[in-house]
Amino acid sequence: MMSTKLDIPDRYDLTRMGPMGGQASVFYARDKWLDRDVVMKAGLPGASYDVAAEVRSLAAVNSKHVVALYDTIQDAKGVIAAIVEESVDGQSLRERLTAGLPVAEKLRLLYQIACGVTDIHSVGRIHRDLKPNNMKVRPDGLLKIFDLGISTNLADGDETQIGKGSRGYKAPELFGSPPMKVSTKCDSYSIGVIAHQLLSDGRLAHGFLKEPPDPQTDGINFELLTGTGTELTTVLDASLASDSRLRPEAAEIRDSLASEIVRDMHRAVIVSAGQPFVLDSTNRTVRVGNSGNDITVEYDGTAFVIRALTGDVYVNNRTMRIGDKLNGAMVITLGAPAIGAARRFVTFDISHPEILV
């Protein structure tokens, strides 16, 4: 017979005990009303874990990459005593770290992490304890982030007296003297650490374990892991900056990962004077012109970039410059308005590959 001091409503059947940490205990149960498995999480006596704060964070976030809040359990005084949340089948990300995954799969996992963290940030929350143990990967490949027990609501202020977090993943600024600044960039740093560890087949570089860490000074970077000179390398390197102001937001990390995942998968069709031209990984450059008004567009694997311009060229009636990127459906106009009917109108249409997770 399983014992617990929680007053469990009759709708739930406890099935087994879960792990017990320093702050909370976990129980697995079956919701008889909705016929689904759930996880219950309750604070331990005397622990600083604020179950109500985690409930507020989970209730605010709506993301397929963050575990869902189902219910709460209250004590006799009406105080929230436990969370009832989605039960996620699968392995923790820590178990996947050394699984010899292909690089493409690692990037997809990192993309999902960045998506989930971006969703958390979008409602004014900071996770503050991102690490592989706090993430699970379902058998279908969907990654879920959980354990928002020490998350911070930015509306409550950006200072903390206690630099909570996990050694190796905690941002450098959380090792200072109180009060310490906490921001979304703390989570960006943690994403960078997880990215480096995942791309290194599970090895957590020693530089991350220093207190405070200074990975860039210790020579930790992504050049050998993601290639030299790529946008993703630049963004991930910046995520490990000791100065939080130099780190990208989670959304920027997400977008850079997305660009790398769909590299060489885009396709654009340009129609000029009734003749179609295709730009893709097999035909990377196209030039169209009209009486000295010319534009050359190159597909670099992640974007369609203007490489050359001559004369009067407009895109959606805007003057463009070399280096500008073309996005979506648009009309390229060759020739100034003064030449009237002699102007040529070229359609440019991009198909954007989707990332299915």
- Band (pLDDT 50/70/90 cuts) for residue 3 is very low
Closest to 257 measured CA to CA, from 202, 191, 168, 208 = 191
| 207 and 96 inside one domain | yes
- The answer to whether the peptide bond before residue 139 is cis (omega within 30 degrees of 0) is no
Instruction: Report yes or no on 356 lying in a domain.
Output: no
Mean pLDDT of 33-61: 88
In the chain, the number of structural domains is 3
Identify whether the C-beta of residue 229 lies closer than 8 Å to the C-beta of residue 204.
no
* pLDDT tens-digit map of 179-195: 788 899 999 999 999 99
CATH number at residue 162: 1.10.510.10
Please state, in angstroms and rounded to a whole number, the distance separating the CA atoms of residues 12 and 37.
Answer: 9
Left, alpha or beta for 187 (phi > 0: left; psi -120 to 50: alpha)? Answer: alpha
Instruction: Report yes or no on 326 lying in a domain.
Output: yes
- The answer to whether the peptide bond before residue 212 is cis (omega within 30 degrees of 0) is yes
C-alpha 72: how far from its chain's center? 28
User: Which residues are 24's β-sheet partners?
Assistant: 43
Instruction: Report yes or no on 313 lying in a domain.
Output: yes
* pLDDT tens-digit map of 301-344: 999 999 999 999 999 999 999 999 998 899 999 999 999 999 99
Please state, in angstroms and rounded to a whole number, the distance separating the CA atoms of residues 119 and 193.
Answer: 19
Percent of residues, the chain, with pLDDT higher than 70: 95
Mean pLDDT of 273-294: 95
pLDDT at 2 over 50: no
Q: What are the distances in angstroms from CA 194 to CA 82, 208, 329?
A: 29, 10, 36
- Band (pLDDT 50/70/90 cuts) for residue 259 is very high
| 71 and 177 inside one domain | no
Q: What is the pLDDT of residue 235?
A: 97
Helix (H, G, I), strand (E, B) or coil at 283: coil
Mean pLDDT of 111-135: 96
What is the secondary structure of 185-243 as a DSSP string? HHHHHHHHHHHHHHHTTT---GGGGSSS--TTTTT--SHHHH-TT-HHHHHHHHHT-SS
Q: What is the pLDDT of residue 157?
A: 64
| 28 and 72 inside one domain | yes
| 159 and 57 inside one domain | no
Instruction: Report yes or no on 357 lying in a domain.
Output: no
Show which of 58, 86, 114 is a domain's final residue. 86
Instruction: Report yes or no on 347 lying in a domain.
Output: yes
pLDDT at 266 over 90: yes
- Band (pLDDT 50/70/90 cuts) for residue 347 is very high
* pLDDT tens-digit map of 147-174: 998 888 877 666 665 678 899 999 999 9
Show which of 40, 70, 86 is a domain's final residue. 86
Instruction: Report yes or no on 314 lying in a domain.
Output: yes
| 69 and 95 inside one domain | no
- Band (pLDDT 50/70/90 cuts) for residue 76 is confident
Q: What is the pLDDT of residue 178?
A: 81
Instruction: Report yes or no on 4 lying in a domain.
Output: no
| 68 and 102 inside one domain | no
Instruction: Report yes or no on 337 lying in a domain.
Output: yes
Identify whether the C-beta of residue 40 lies closer than 8 Å to the C-beta of residue 29.
yes
Which of 52-61, 149-158, 169-178, 242-251 is least confident?
149-158
Q: What is the pLDDT of residue 343?
A: 96
| 49 and 134 inside one domain | no
| 234 and 287 inside one domain | no
| 73 and 120 inside one domain | no
| 293 and 331 inside one domain | yes
| 121 and 240 inside one domain | yes
What is the secondary structure of 60-129 as a DSSP string? H---TTBPPEEEEEE-TTS-EEEEEEE---SEEHHHHTTS---HHHHHHHHHHHHHHHHHHHHTTEE---
Domain span including residue 333:
267-351
Please state, in angstroms and rounded to a whole number, the distance separating the CA atoms of residues 196 and 200.
Answer: 6
pLDDT at 223 over 90: yes
Q: What is the pLDDT of residue 352?
A: 86
| 111 and 194 inside one domain | yes
CATH number at residue 62: 3.30.200.20
pLDDT at 66 over 90: yes
Mean pLDDT of 202-207: 94
- Band (pLDDT 50/70/90 cuts) for residue 1 is very low
Show which of 200, 234, 261 is a domain's final residue. 261
Which of 133-137, 225-229, 262-266, 336-340 is least confident?
225-229
Closest to 199 measured CA to CA, from 115, 97, 131 = 97
